[in-house]
Amino acid sequence: MISRAWLFTVAVVLSVAVSGWFWHDNSSPADSIADTGKGTVTPTIEIAENSKTPIKPVTEGPTMASDISSDSAQQSVQVECDDIQQQINTHPAAEEFRQFNQSLSSELIDSYYEQLNMDELLAEAQTANVSAMRMLSEKYLRYAQFQSYSKPDKSLFDERLKDRSALAQSRYWNEQAGLHGYVGAFFGFAFTYSIEISELTQQLNESPELANELAVQIRDLEYQLAAYMQLAFDVMPQLTDILLPLEMKIKHFQAGGASGLPFEPQEYEQIYRDLYAQWQYKRAQLGLPPQFGFSLTPGVRQLMALEKQLYSCQR
């Protein structure tokens, strides 16, 4: 089940319009999406009555050889991850890679486009201005969640979806930005569908008598979400190494997502074929091929491969 804490975290990330692909503190948008549905358990320690001293947990038996072996294996993995991270940090093409990532998705928050009203943004977007399209998508998303086009203080609001028509507009302008070459659009698709899934999951918890109906709706949205993530691989084959978190999320849905319903491969494949055909047609209408093209130097390719290794190592 998708955790609301996760959704709030990703809301912060994507509210800056996916302002970068990699943060080496391991919190990229792709990582956040891949972590959808992971719950968190906060350990608690009982406090003895009339005492401020925590009760110490009781150790059950002596330390076994298997425990020592497990600790050793974990330490070995950590050393391996640290080594990969060091290779990334000290790679001769590190600055080039940073600039490449930045070129994929520049930040818009507090930019010129943030200051424009909706009519002004719409006029700009209709001239094929991708930044205006992205900001329209962002502002509609804010309205869908917080009933405000301006940057809200999220601590003053709950995380419930309040306007599905605004969410649909956000998704539409995100798609337009993607069709015009904006790479971050695929993370935008994943996020908007995740918001809707979270809302329906909340409704399912509140109204168990609607379980069957809501479960089907959730599964349909999960199919759409997974299809857009798969589309990213077919549209950007050169970036496969840095899309691994999306691949892991697709596998998560296939194993069983928030709906609790079985994954139907034939149904999903039809949804994906239809989506790809629509994408191909819409790109052709713009005089563009279905795939994005990137000029990748050997150094950038090497760092992409290292990022993939790091992600796998940390999992």
- Please tell me the least confidently modeled range out of 52-66, 110-124, 170-184: 52-66
pLDDT on residue 62: 55
Burial state string for 180-194 with b = 16 or more CB within 10 A and e = fewer than 16: bebbbbbbbbbbbbb
- Please tell me the least confidently modeled range out of 50-54, 97-101, 202-206, 284-288: 50-54
Q: Is the pLDDT of residue 132 over 90?
A: yes
Give, in order, the Cα–Cα distances in Å from 13 to each of 82, 109, 133, 198, 285: 25, 11, 18, 17, 32
Enumerate the β-bridge partners of residue 47: 54
pLDDT on residue 253: 79
Contact 210, 18 (CB under 8 A): no
How far apart are the C-alpha atoms of 173 and 170, rounded to whole Å? 5
Q: Is the pLDDT of residue 117 over 50?
A: yes
| Confidence class for position 166, pLDDT limits 50, 70, 90 | very high
- φ and ψ at residue 27, rounded to 5 degrees: -135, 45
Question: Tokens 């993939």 identify what position?
Answer: 308
Q: Is the pLDDT of residue 244 over 70?
A: yes
pLDDT tens for residues 16-48? 333 333 222 333 344 434 444 333 333 332 323
How far apart are the C-alpha atoms of 299 and 303, rounded to whole Å? 6
Q: What is the DSSP string of 69-116?
A: HHHHHHHHHHHHHHHHHHHHHH-TTHHHHHHHHHHHS---TTSGGGGS
C-alpha atoms less than 13 angstroms from C-alpha of 243 in its C-beta half-sphere: 21
Under 8 Å CB-to-CB from 86, ≥6 apart: which residues? none
Residue type, 45: I
Residue type, 19: S
Q: Is the pLDDT of residue 59 over 60?
A: no
How far apart are the C-alpha atoms of 165 and 147, rounded to whole Å? 12
pLDDT on residue 152: 80
Question: Tokens 């697709």 identify what position?
Answer: 250
User: Alpha-carbon Rg of the chain, whole angstroms?
Assistant: 22
pLDDT on residue 143: 94
- Region 166-178: what's the mean pLDDT? 97
pLDDT on residue 255: 80
Average pLDDT of the chain?
A: 79
Burial state string for 293-312 with b = 16 or more CB within 10 A and e = fewer than 16: eeeeeebbebbbebbbbbbe
Q: Is the pLDDT of residue 236 over 50?
A: yes
Of residues 71 and 24, more confidently modeled: 71
Of residues 12 and 259, more confidently modeled: 259
Give CA 150 to chain center in angstroms: 22
Contact 195, 144 (CB under 8 A): yes
pLDDT on residue 61: 52
pLDDT on residue 64: 53
- Region 169-196: what's the mean pLDDT? 94
Nearest Cα neighbor of 30 from 234, 188, 168, 255 is 188
Q: Is the pLDDT of residue 278 over 60?
A: yes
Q: Is the pLDDT of residue 215 over 90?
A: yes
Domain boundary assignment for the chain = 4-37+71-105+183-314
Q: What percent of the chain has pLDDT over 70?
A: 77
- Please tell me the least confidently modeled range out of 54-68, 214-228, 256-270, 283-297: 54-68
Give, in order, the Cα–Cα distances in Å from 12 to each of 48, 67, 202, 225: 39, 39, 20, 20
pLDDT on residue 94: 92
Question: Tokens 């002596």 identify what position?
Answer: 62
Q: What percent of the chain has pLDDT over 90?
A: 52
Q: Is the pLDDT of residue 60 over 80?
A: no
